């Protein structure tokens, strides 16, 4: 894939970039390694000041960077502005809390003496240069939720961003530079995916984090495993959205629409499979279909647009294949299921609801990365759990019920990194984020996320 900005609303290539050559990559890794030797020894106060400054600059740049993101990957500009604001919030969260999250831990005194020590401390130390391989769907947020904790922990970062968001990637490097970070603390590498293996195998690169597709995760994990380097992987998701009879149906429907079409439906944690109890299934189906049909599809720069184009032409083609396969095997599209009439330019696709989905259909197993919802009918909570878990993914989940026994059942038995009750799955700096099964491993955000790229060190002292 060329490194280029291609406007998804028109299909027009706006700007192309040359990939870095091997010499350029070598120099940038060397600079990152050199920067780490100094950054690792800076105080939390100094790191906090730098990250807070970056947050302030991002707030100032919010409108401009939002338009850049929308131009590069098609999300509604209103959502892009919200993404930028969320990033600044996360920066400030880590700037204020990192020192406490990484404070020395003191084991119980009796255990210390039992180990033969006069004193012992557990300390969190940085690992070194961390490579981040990031996707296009949240081109600012995905990077910041890695960069903010990694930099606060004392690491330095190398960003290999998706090839269709190069201007956003370069903006991020410039943002940290303008905030006052020393040269090499955070750099963008404009390279293709073929360059990732060589970078990860470089002995100066200590670890990697990847958000992206399952094949990309397998490739990075294989190389990192061969090199015995730590990784965090956040891969695909096919999140269930369970609705039981005790749910507030009006709120559930309204949330379901947002949960399915957020970011034009291109979100790993978007609700994709709607599992509804038979007692409320028909009412939910009718209201959900009507609300999806009413969404405004159009120019993502228009403030009134609900759903913009898909980010890439191939992404739309993949989505069309899944829908066509489902309909060909007997599913019914109660709305959508096609490109909008008259949309001759751009990679638009109508919000779609599919009913009658069965195991024979690819969409039952594969992630639909676009505004397409699958709707299922179940007879009870146990059947809902079985269907929720009938997927190779396990990123997050939603359950709408006010029944405490059902909540306990779902909390215990749903196989996912999160269960959100009576609300929409969302990431927040204070809450750990990540999945199980083929959705990956490791955690981002919260204290768990900042410690992923730390050397958890035992300091043991004998008699002194």
Query: 405-443 as b/e, with b when 16 or more CB fall inside 10 Å?
Result: ebbebbeeebbbbbbbbbebbebebeebbbbebbbbbbb
Contact (Cβ atoms closer than 8 angstroms) between residue 140 and residue 65: yes
Strand 186-188 versus strand 129-133 pairing type = unpaired
Burial of 290 (0-12, 13-18, 19+ CB in 10 A): middle
Phi, psi of 291 (to 5 degrees): -70, -40
* Calpha distance 451→444 (Å, rounded): 9
Residues 6+ apart with CB under 8 A from 441: 232, 233, 434, 435
Q: Any idea which residue has 């083929």 for tokens?
A: 438
Q: Which residues participate in catalysis according to the annotation? A: 234, 268
Residues 6+ apart with CB under 8 A from 449: 145, 149, 432, 433, 443
Phi-psi region of 95 (alpha: psi -120 to 50; beta: other; left: phi over 0): alpha
* Calpha distance 273→297 (Å, rounded): 22
Alpha carbon 260 to its chain's center:
15
């Amino acid at each position: 894939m060329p490194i280029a900005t291609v406007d998804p609303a028109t299909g027009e290539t706006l700007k192309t970039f040359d990939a870095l050559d091997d010499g350029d990559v070598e120099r940038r890794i060397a600079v990152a390694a050199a920067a780490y030797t100094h950054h690792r020894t800076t105080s939390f106060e100094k790191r906090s000041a730098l990250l807070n400054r970056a947050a302030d600059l991002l707030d100032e740049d919010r409108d401009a960077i939002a338009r850049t993101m929308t131009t590069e990957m098609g999300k509604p500009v209103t959502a892009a502005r919200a993404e930028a604001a969320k990033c600044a919030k996360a920066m400030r969260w880590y700037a204020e809390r990192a020192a406490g999250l990484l404070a020395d831990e003191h084991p119980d005194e009796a255990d210390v003496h039992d180990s033969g020590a006069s004193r012992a401390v557990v300390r969190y130390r940085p690992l070194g240069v961390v490579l981040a391989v990031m996707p296009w769907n949240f081109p600012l947020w995905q990077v910041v939720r890695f960069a903010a904790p990694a930099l606060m922990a004392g690491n330095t970062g190398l960003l290999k961003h998706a090839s269709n968001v190069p201007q956003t990637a370069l903006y991020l490097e410039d943002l940290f530079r303008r905030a006052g970070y020393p040269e090499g603390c955070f750099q963008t590498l404009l390279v293709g995916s073929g360059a990732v293996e060589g970078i990860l195998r470089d002995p100066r690169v200590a670890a990697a984090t990847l958000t992206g597709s399952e094949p990309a995760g397998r490739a990075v994990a294989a190389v990192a495993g061969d090199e015995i380097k730590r990784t965090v992987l956040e891969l695909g998701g096919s999140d269930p959205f369970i609705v039981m009879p005790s749910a507030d149906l009006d709120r559930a429907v309204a949330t379901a629409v947002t949960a399915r079409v957020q970011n034009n439906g291109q979100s790993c944690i978007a609700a994709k499979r709607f599992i509804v109890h038979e007692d409320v299934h028909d009412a939910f189906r009718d209201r959900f279909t009507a609300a999806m049909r009413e969404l405004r599809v159009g120019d993502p720069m228009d403030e009134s647009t609900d759903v913009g184009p898909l980010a890439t032409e191939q992404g739309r083609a993949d989505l069309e294949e899944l829908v066509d396969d489902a309909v060909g095997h007997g599913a019914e599209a109660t709305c959508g299921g096609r490109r909008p009439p008259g949309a001759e330019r751009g990679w638009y696709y109508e919000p779609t609801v599919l009913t009658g989905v069965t195991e024979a259909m690819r969409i039952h197993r594969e992630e639909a990365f676009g505004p397409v919802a699958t709707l299922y009918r179940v007879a009870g909570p146990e059947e809902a759990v079985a269907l929720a878990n009938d997927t190779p993914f396990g990123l997050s989940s939603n359950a709408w019920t006010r029944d405490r026994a059902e909540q306990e059942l779902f909390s215990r038995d749903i196989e996912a990194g999160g269960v959100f009750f009576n609300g929409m799955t969302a990431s927040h700096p204070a809450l750990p984020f990540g999945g199980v099964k083929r959705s990956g491993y490791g955690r981002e955000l919260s204290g768990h996320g900042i410690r992923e790229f730390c050397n958890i060190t035992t300091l043991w002292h004998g008699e002194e």
